[in-house]
Amino acid sequence: MAGGRTTGLILLPDQALHDTGDHPENGRRIPAVLDHLYRAPEWSELAVIESRQAEPDDILRVHGQGHLELIESRAAAGPGWIDGDTPISPGSYEVALKAAGAAMAGVDSMLGDPGSGPDSLFALIRPPGHHATPDRAMGFCLFNNAAVAARYAQHRHGVDRVAILDWDVHHGNGTQDAFWEDPSVLVISMHQWPLYPGTGWLAETGAGEGEGLTVNLPMPPGCGDREYLEAMGAVVEPALEAFDPGLLIVSAGQDGHFADPLSNEAITATGYNRMADRAASLAGRLGIGLIAVHEGGYNLATLPRLDRAILAGFGSYATDLDEGATGLPGGQGFDPGWDDRLREILKAQRPYWPLG
């Protein structure tokens, strides 16, 4: 790209087979993003990779056999519901395998032949994954795409340490559970708190050999660009640099945008662009690849612009960040109590990381 970094997309052509009807996580989300990107002037410069299907063994590095069989059987018997939030349809099992496979394809691109592909890739996939625990589907999620990708990077490519940065507005409880006692995977989550699923308080730092390798930044409702970027600079980036991973995976949910219907945060397109730029800059300094997997983001009028802003941040090129007629939230600029919360987070994390 013109800015010096290269980026691209991993596509999931069959995503509509995961048919969730009018659910907030529906089959119109990703096509809306792609339609917007097709018309963007940078489209011809983006690397485009198609997904492949994960094998059961790939899923079983994270999830139990019973979980895998449950998703397969419930999909075959569908349409129906896994729980009160999570619909499933006859095509869902296949699509979920391909969504995880898309994340794995990104790993192969980043690690298989260094220097031959882009510096980062954004997997435009659904269903999302970060709420799926090793033994439970929940929160719109069937398999944990980021966790499957992390384990695949370790198993297939011999990566010693993988870092997962989750900026979805909801806490990535499934990813946290998968690596709670694992010193080889650093899990960092910036999320609104309190909010579904009710986990992710700052005192949750891992256990056993994984103590300190779970980093939670519970952001008060109303936090926007300033607060999230301060969290990046004060905690996220120092912890990532100290951990020195061989791969960075971003669970990229854009439901912290001020116009998203499922949260109360106030991030703008500019905020997402800058978070993406800082994540990609850090990966560049560390000399590692970056893979982003799509998580939340439920306003079809704003999600396409947000995903484009993120790609521009990854690729360090200019793009239109105008929010258009949506404007800025009426509460923008009020104090959500972030300064006090940041002090609490720093106190909880200083025993583990070299923070200022």
- Hey, which residues are catalytic here? 131
281 in Cβ contact with 248 (< 8 Å): no
In 288-337, alpha helices (H): 303-315
Amino acid at 302: T
Identify whether the C-beta of residue 77 lies closer than 8 Å to the C-beta of residue 354: no
Strands 247-252 and 289-294, by their bridges, are parallel
Q: Which helix (H) or strand (E) holds 173?
A: helix 173-178
Q: Count CA atoms closer than 13 A to 247's CA, side-chain side.
A: 30
| Residue 136 phi, psi (nearest 5) | -150, 130
SS3 content of the chain, % helix, strand, coil (to 5): 40, 15, 45
Q: Quote the tokens at residue 117.
A: 């592909």
